[in-house]
């Protein structure tokens, strides 16, 4: 018996060990993405973070100054004014965009020619922004604009859309709404298409009204899509540069100088270390606002 056991052990030792082959093809397929991400996303982010702790003007050696740039910005009235302007535009744009986009998406859920409507809605998003901004300037001109002409035709006074602080904010917000709401509608239409139709059929059989179906079925089941729309809208508003730059130039009285325009000022002044610190603070604030918005929507989904 011992001899048989020893012979079996000898055969097991003599048997070649099969090594598990690791397939290299999947890793080769993701290598291009990893290289592009590292070169154009990861490295710039880490370099900007490093730059935010330095005093650098585009040439020479990086001079490490610690948190001096952050202390300067947090004590700067101009920085907080730009953040307040972006916050005001966020209040004007994002809630209205969510409500408007959701209403349009629900209305088009079973409409005929959905493809035609989708193309019309996405057209402002893909139209060159500078051309659209020039049209906006003509429409909202105080003396010759079509908007004030329409107000005058119904007996209302002309509004200084581009010459008053409140009017300029509303004008820029309307431009952002016009340009980006169609994209939000497309996203929400995709979210609505994933809701099973038998859920609405069961609700109708139980006697639920259209409003009750919307509030109890549609809104909870598209909450994740709404969260994505809110995040995209928040990023859009706090990165606004071209809209206020072309339409108002940041005026009047810096009332439309957004966080993006304030960051641009540091770049034009070659204060690259200060600009990097500004961008890092902007990232933190946008992240906090986005998480707060998502948490608010998720609380509705869980309730």
The pLDDT assigned to 270 comes to: 83
Q: Which of 138, 136, 141, 134 is nearest to 159 (CA)?
A: 141
Question: What is the extent of the structural domain holding 110?
Answer: 76-302
Are 158 and 141 in contact by the 8 Å Cβ rule? The answer is: no
Full DSSP string of 79-101: HHHHHHHHHHHHHHHHHHHHHHH
Q: Would you say residue 70 lies in a domain? A: no
Residue 22: the pLDDT is 59
Domain membership flag for residue 48 = no
Please report whether residue 249 resides in a domain. yes
Q: Is residue 210 part of a domain?
A: yes
Residues 6+ apart with CB under 8 A from 93: 173, 176, 177, 180, 233, 236, 237
Number of domains in the chain: 1
pLDDT tens, position by position, for the chain (303 residues)? 455 555 555 555 555 545 566 577 778 888 888 888 888 888 888 988 999 999 888 777 888 998 999 999 999 999 999 999 999 999 999 999 999 999 999 888 877 777 788 888 888 888 888 888 889 999 998 888 899 999 999 988 888 899 899 999 999 999 999 999 999 999 999 888 888 888 888 888 888 888 888 888 888 888 888 888 988 998 899 889 888 999 988 888 888 999 888 888 888 888 888 989 999 998 898 888 888 877 877 765 565
Residue 85, domain member (yes or no): yes
Give the separation between CA 243 and CA 197, rounded to whole angstroms: 40
Q: Give the predicted TM-score (pTM) of the model.
A: 0.82
In a domain, 8, yes or no: no
Cα–Cα dist 195/209, whole Å: 18
- The CATH number covering residue 134 comes to 1.10.3720.10
């Amino acid at each position: 018996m011992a001899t048989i056991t020893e012979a079996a052990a000898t055969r097991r030792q003599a048997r070649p060990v099969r090594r598990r082959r690791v397939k290299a093809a999947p890793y080769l397929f993701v290598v291009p993405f990893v290289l592009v991400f590292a070169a154009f996303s990861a490295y710039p982010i880490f370099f900007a973070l490093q730059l935010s702790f330095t005093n650098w003007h585009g040439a020479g050696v990086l001079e490490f100054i610690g948190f001096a740039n952050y202390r300067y910005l947090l004590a700067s009235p101009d920085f907080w004014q730009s953040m307040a302007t972006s916050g005001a535009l966020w209040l004007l744009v994002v809630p209205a965009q969510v409500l408007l986009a959701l209403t349009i998406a629900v209305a088009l859920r079973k409409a005929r020619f959905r493809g035609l409507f989708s193309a019309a809605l996405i057209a402002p998003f893909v139209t060159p922004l500078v051309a659209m901004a020039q049209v906006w300037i003509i429409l909202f001109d105080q003396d010759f604009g079509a908007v004030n002409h329409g107000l005058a035709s119904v007996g209302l006074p002309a509004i200084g859309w581009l010459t008053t602080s409140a009017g300029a904010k509303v004008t820029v917000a309307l431009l952002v709404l016009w340009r980006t709401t169609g994209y939000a509608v497309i996203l929400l239409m995709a979210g609505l298409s994933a809701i099973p139709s038998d859920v609405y059929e069961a609700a109708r059989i139980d006697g639920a009204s259209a409003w009750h179906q919307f509030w109890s079925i549609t809104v909870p089941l598209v909450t994740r899509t709404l969260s994505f729309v809110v995040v995209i809208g928040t990023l859009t508003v706090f990165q606004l540069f071209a809209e206020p730059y072309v339409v108002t130039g940041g005026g009047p009285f810096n009332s439309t100088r957004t966080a993006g325009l304030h960051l641009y000022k540091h770049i034009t002044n070659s204060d690259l270390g200060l600009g990097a610190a500004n961008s890092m603070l902007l990232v933190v604030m946008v992240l906090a606002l986005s998480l707060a918005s998502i948490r608010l929507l998720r609380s509705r989904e869980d309730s």
